[in-house]
Amino acid sequence: MEKNGRVKIGPILVDTGIFTTPFICDVDRYKCESACCYRACILTGDEARRIEQHLPGILRYLPEENIDFIKRKGSFVADCREQPRCLGKCEIDEDEAMAVRRLFGEGEEFRCTWLLNDRCVLLYNGNDGLRYCAVHSYALESGLTWEEFKMIDCVQYPLAIYISEGQQVLGIQSTPYLADIPCKNHQDAPLMYKSLKSTIRLLVGSELAEEIMAYGDLHYK
């Protein structure tokens, strides 16, 4: 039974918005210039070490300015407290901060990527003039599953998994700055639960993800 915009599926409460909201992450299609990458990416120590192992391949996508900056700093990882404000708007919206904190856990040591020219240092401009993520491009070219390779902070957007009053919830982030980005506002896009199936599987596991897909197909298809 659905109540207050949520439905119980297995052991988890699911925001019914994932069944009604069109969404697709497609930089080429929407010419969005990776608008959701408006801030530094938050990551854990394990994630930083994983990316660091592949850094030579990732750097191949970046312009010389970014490469020189990373080499000068000694790493693509920064101390979040040293970062300038993102685009003069906000360092990180509280909704996003909570989504990350809920996912990683309160005791996790958070780090973030460096910002360069008010953008994540791992972004680059492609030959088509659009802005892309070097980590994402590297994963695709290398045959890696990008949802498992990239930082979970990036992968989970626009979803969030958290505990509310002792109950696990799969919700949707409501970051005000990202309210008007095209991937969330095109009615011709597939519904969120379909386009983000791999992300949902990563967040809640394959078995529960299939239950969520089945519920959506039965009630919202």
Mean pLDDT for 36-55 is: 86
Query: Is the pLDDT assigned to residue 63 strictly greater than 80?
Result: yes
Write down the pLDDT at residue 131: 82
| pTM for this prediction | 0.77
The pLDDT of residue 122 is 95
Segment among 65-74, 138-147, 186-195 with least mean pLDDT: 186-195
Asked whether the predicted pLDDT for residue 143 surpasses 70, the reply is yes
Mean pLDDT of 115-123: 88
Residue type, 194: K
Residue 169 domain boundaries: 2-219
Residue 106: the pLDDT is: 54
Distances (CA, A) of 172 to 5, 6, 75, 156, 179: 11, 11, 32, 10, 12
Q: What is the mean pLDDT of residues 115-124?
A: 88
Q: With a cut of 60, say whether residue 60 has pLDDT above it.
A: yes
Q: What percentage of the chain exceeds 70 in pLDDT? A: 75
Cα–Cα distances (Å) from 208 to 84, 144, 145, 201, 211, in that order, read: 40, 24, 20, 8, 5
Q: Give which of 137, 116, 5, 121 is closest to 61, Cα–Cα.
A: 137
pLDDT tens sequence across 163-189: 777 888 898 887 666 666 666 666 777
Q: Which of 49, 33, 25, 2 is nearest to 156 (CA)?
A: 25
Mean pLDDT of 149-156: 87
* pLDDT at res. 86: 44
| 96-100, 179-183, 206-210: range with highest mean pLDDT | 206-210
Residue 200 has pLDDT above 90, yes or no: yes
pLDDT score of 95 more than 60: no
Q: For the chain, what is the domain count? A: 1
